[in-house]
């Protein structure tokens, strides 16, 4: 059996591919909806920032 090792998927990639694209939502629109800055959303989507519990709660609502 071959052990496959892969990097965990970044939350920003999941946010972009599984939620924003299917909904046709832009980063700007998402930022306004959850009361976050465009920069924060942009950095999460571009894998330059991780999420914390507060952001996870905002994204889940």
Listed by start position, the domains of the chain span 11-60
- Fold for domain 11-60? 434 Repressor (Amino-terminal Domain) (1.10.260)
Q: What is the CB-side half-sphere exposure of residue 33 using CA atoms within 13 A?
A: 13
Rounded to two decimals, what is the model's pTM? 0.86
What's the alpha-carbon Rg for the chain, to the nearest Å? Answer: 13
pLDDT by residue for the chain (61 residues), tens only, comes to 677 898 999 999 999 999 999 999 999 999 999 999 999 999 999 999 999 999 999 999 8
Chain centroid to CA 58: how far?
11
């Amino acid at each position: 059996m071959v052990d496959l090792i892969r990097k965990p998927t970044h939350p920003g990639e999941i946010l972009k591919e599984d939620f924003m694209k299917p909904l046709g939502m832009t980063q700007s629109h998402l930022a306004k909806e959850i009361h976050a800055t465009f920069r924060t959303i942009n950095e999460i989507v571009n894998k330059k920032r991780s999420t914390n519990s507060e952001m996870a709660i905002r994204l889940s609502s």
